[in-house]
Structure 1
Amino acid sequence: MMVMPVASEETVRLTKKPVKIVIPPYGISIAESHHERGFVMPPTRNSYTKIYYILDGTADCFIERRAVPLERQQVLVIPRGATHFLRDKEGAPLSLYILAVRNNSLEHLASFNEQIELLSVLASKHLKPLTSHDYAAYDLPRKIRKILYEQRMQAAGFVPAIQANLLSLVVALNRIYLNIPVEQQFPGDKPTVNRIQHVAHYIEKNFFEPVSVENMARMACLSVRQFTNQFKAVYGVTFMQYLHFHRTRYAQRLLAETDQEIISICFSSGFNDLAHFYRIFKRYTSLSPRQFRLNAGYHSAKMAKHEH
């Protein structure tokens, strides 16, 4: 069985120089680094892609002589082969996780190798950090935590679990890069309407995830009261109504187009309680899920008859 290298005590102590990255045969590793005042990093080039997640502190990361400011809860991708180094801000040394990914980590999976190569290319074009307050980057810390957990626990099957979570992380990063212009400002600098729209777009793609008003307000960099008031002003409905609309619409599609059990559709649509699902579904459609399916089947059969 392959054993994942675990950070030694020296790795987690304050350091004045970069930690040594040890990548196992399957090509993925996470290290942590806590900088001491006076930390010095010489210009470095790596044969693998690096992903920084900033736990605390502020710094500039110089990538090919361009300064990229970093602060807490931001993610930065260092393209493979790019010359880079970190320079901490005075009085605010960095603490960070470093995810190192060899570009052929999953040799048996061509699609992954294409995704990691694409990540290096896109990161080179967008030399900027991704903030976890951004609607698209909101889920990145959770993905990194999953990889870190598997690395530390090393339970049965931890290697494929790490690889699966890594693929999910890389695809998420690529989707973010493919949808942001180089000059895009961070959401905290955007007008309130734009921040509300960011959250709405996030819900459209992630309505099945567990979400709360508090978390979405945090994503928009607004207080809960500001967020709820502004959301209704922009969309004419409350945030929860908007969320339930997208969950119910997806459930309608599954009821009409699949033979999934209703309890499975409830779960797939983001509901955790069947009675709650029935109540919300009937509120939006005036029908129970079972009645809706019967009606959808009737109309589908009728349409098919006319087509023939």
Structure 2
Amino acid sequence: MNDKINIYESKHKENDKVKKHFHQTYQILYALDGNGSCFLDEQEYCIRPDSLLVIAPFTSHSIEAQSKMTVLVLEFDEKILSDDVQNELLAEAFQQSEVRVLNAFDSSEFRQLLRKMLYEQSHGDHIREMVIKIHLSEMLCILIRSKQEGHIVDQNVLRVERIKNYIERRYFEIESAEDLANKMNMSKRYAQSIFKEMYNRTPMQYLTEVRIGLVKKMLIETNKSIVSICFEVGFESLSTFYRIFKNQIGVPPNVYRTTWANKKA
């Protein structure tokens, strides 16, 4: 690592894994797009667009991309910063390595600072290093002031991902919104609120989407009876299943299967 602040792009393919490692430098990773997860000192976090990974030196960390993911990496050594910035800003901003999700205002400001730093790095004049340091100090201020709120938001992100992952794995045994909330050790109202805030649908609406998606796949790819498919994905009532399928897809499941069979013929 040299005596400059470096900003570079890191691209990850779907299912890419970065094995556990550490750096002697400070790093701020900003997720531009894609979804994934990471471990920071054995603590698991979710990564989604606009997530900020704040990684202090010697923090053991690993990353896994669940989709194509692009991350901007800001890396620097504390020695390039003045004593007051080190003592008053850096120490507090990097008190703990973690993933943060900024509010809309702070996120917009942070993105603009990144753009300014990228511009200075590529096109700046003889004072560009000083300008980049100033922008870094502004970033540290944002991290400090948003820390408490960002931590709360990130915990909700983790809870929502737990709900989503549980639905995708155990869709066949979830009986109701109350049943799901109990399994997650949350109140029904709280689970619905945080899930809908992130995905613009309730957990039970997402459960229906998952089930119907599986039904469509089985109708096309297998010869299983509709009654068996209905049972397998977790619907308790055949009439309820028919009603939901038609509302979601526009035609009954038997018509959907026949239509696809005719297309293949």
| 1:60 CA drift (Å) | 0.2
User: In the alignment, what sits opposite 1:24?
Assistant: 2
| 1:69 CA drift (Å) | 0.3
User: Structure 1: any 5+ residue segments left out of the alignment?
Assistant: 1-22, 189-219, 222-308
Taking the aligned partners of 1:180 and 1:55, their CA distance within structure 2 comes to: 21
Quick check: 2:32–2:70 contact (8 Å CA) kept in 1? Answer: yes
Secondary structure in structure 1 of the residue aligned to 2:78: coil
| 1:180 CA drift (Å) | 3.0
Is the counterpart of residue 119 in structure 1 residue 119 in structure 2? no
Structure 1's 82 and 46: CA in aligned 2 closer, same or farther, altered over 3 A?
Answer: same
Structure 1's 185 and 25: CA in aligned 2 closer, same or farther, altered over 3 A?
Answer: closer
Secondary structure in structure 2 of the residue aligned to 1:82: coil
User: In the alignment, what sits opposite 1:14?
Assistant: none
| 1:55 CA drift (Å) | 1.1
Taking the aligned partners of 2:31 and 2:43, their CA distance within structure 1 comes to: 19
Q: 2:83 aligns with which of 85, 110, 124?
A: 110
1:75-109 CA-to-partner distances (Å, cap 9, x unmatched) read 221122210010111xx121110001212222xx2
Is the counterpart of residue 165 in structure 1 residue 143 in structure 2? no
Secondary structure in structure 2 of the residue aligned to 1:128: strand
Q: TM-score of the superposition, structure 2-length normalised?
A: 0.54
Taking the aligned partners of 1:51 and 1:151, their CA distance within structure 2 comes to: 16
| 1:35 CA drift (Å) | 1.4
Quick check: 1:150–1:161 contact (8 Å CA) kept in 2? Answer: yes
Structure 1's 160 and 176: CA in aligned 2 closer, same or farther, altered over 3 A?
Answer: same
- Structure with larger RCO (C-alpha < 8 A, sep 6+): 2
Secondary structure in structure 2 of the residue aligned to 1:147: helix
Specify which structure has the higher proportion of helix.
Answer: 2
Amino acid at match of 2:70: S
Paired residues, number: 159
Is the counterpart of residue 51 in structure 1 residue 28 in structure 2? yes
Q: 1:176 aligns with which of 135, 139, 146?
A: 146
Secondary structure in structure 1 of the residue aligned to 2:31: strand
Q: TM-score of the superposition, structure 1-length normalised?
A: 0.47
Amino acid at match of 1:55: L
Q: 2:74 aligns with which of 74, 99, 105?
A: 99
Quick check: 2:99–2:154 contact (8 Å CA) kept in 1? Answer: no
Quick check: 2:102–2:150 contact (8 Å CA) kept in 1? Answer: no
User: In the alignment, what sits opposite 2:42?
Assistant: 65
Amino acid at match of 1:180: E
Q: What does 1:1-308 align with in structure 2 at a 5 Å threshold? A: 23-26=1-4, 28-89=5-66, 92-106=67-81, 109-114=82-87, 115-121=89-95, 123-124=96-97, 127-131=98-102, 133=104, 135-177=105-147, 179-180=148-149, 182-184=151-153
User: Structure 2: any 5+ residue segments left out of the alignment?
Assistant: 158-196, 199-265
Taking the aligned partners of 2:83 and 2:28, their CA distance within structure 1 comes to: 21
Quick check: 1:132–1:140 contact (8 Å CA) kept in 2? Answer: no
Quick check: 2:14–2:69 contact (8 Å CA) kept in 1? Answer: no
Structure 1's 85 and 181: CA in aligned 2 closer, same or farther, altered over 3 A?
Answer: closer
Taking the aligned partners of 1:44 and 1:140, their CA distance within structure 2 comes to: 26
Q: Could you tell me the percent identity over the aligned residues?
A: 18
RMSD: 2.6
1:122-146 CA-to-partner distances (Å, cap 9, x unmatched) read x33xx3322352x444411111111
